[in-house]
Homo-oligomer: A and B are copies of this chain.
């Protein structure tokens, strides 16, 4: 028997309090979002949290472990939708805080250029990435964190690995939507894929 919270929507955004009128036009009802997801590519950010040494070299990579409502465990990265009116930096910071907690102290990159752009399609074979809910385009960043990571959602844990472990076929096989490829691209971008 599991008391785990069911898998929250990774696109979760604060809902208005009950009875309040929603005044943010960018806020979407689930049914609206589901409809739009069949009409337009949806913009995401993703982050690969890392620990660096005193010379900036990546020594550990943080991979999220998520409990699916089915009880199945999968691995993923910090990931989420960019909202209407939100800058990429704000979205990155919001999703890092959502997935790593308020004490992670992420050092967001000075450059807005991602290490790669991952294109997720509902059907496999177009790219390395799939997402059965939608066509999503994700700007992916490597983000050093210097604080304590404590995922706020009950269904999430963070596992720290060496670059070699993170690049291994075993870890890749457990990652959602082809994100093993994304993780290896992240490692290559910081000179840590061997």
Contact surface of A with B, Cβ cutoff 8 Å: 25-26, 28, 32, 36, 38-43, 50, 52, 54-58, 82-90, 92-93, 107-117, 119, 121, 126-128, 135, 137, 139, 142, 144, 181, 184-185, 188-191, 193-194
Contacts and interface: CB of A to CB of B under 8 A. Distances in A.
A110 B181 CA distance: 17
A110 B193 contact: no
B56 A190 contact: no
Contacts of A32: 39
Nearest to A191: B112
A101 to B, nearest CB: 16
Contact of A56 (B26, B57, B109): B109
B190 A110 contact: yes
Contacts of A89: 55-57
The 6 A-B pairs at the shortest CB distance, nearest first, are namely: A56-B108, A188-B188, A55-B89, A110-B190, A185-B188, A112-B191
B43 A137 contact: yes
A141 B25 CA distance: 31
A148 to B, nearest CB: 17
Contact of A127 (B56, B83, B87, B189): B87
B36 A36 contact: yes
Given A40-B43, A57-B110, 7 more contacts: A43-B137, A52-B108, A52-B110, A88-B119, A107-B144, A112-B190, A184-B188
